Amino acid sequence: MCEERDKLLELLLEAAKAHDAALRAIRRCEGKELERLTAASESARSNYNECYAVLVAHERYHGCNEEAPESTAHEA
Q: What is the pLDDT of residue 68?
A: 37
Distance CA 62, CA 56 (A): 10
Write out pLDDT tens, residues 21-75. 988 988 888 899 999 999 999 999 999 999 999 999 999 988 887 653 443 333 3
Distance CA 35, CA 43 (A): 12
DSSP string, 37-59: HHHHHHHHHHHHHHHHHHHHHHH
Q: Quick one: average pLDDT of 6-15?
A: 92
User: What are the residue boundaries of the structural domains of the chain, listed by start?
Assistant: 3-62
Q: What are phi and psi of 75, to 5 degrees?
A: -80, 145
Write out pLDDT tens, residues 32-43. 999 999 999 999
Distance CA 39, CA 63 (A): 35
Distance CA 35, CA 32 (A): 5
Q: What is the pLDDT of residue 2?
A: 87
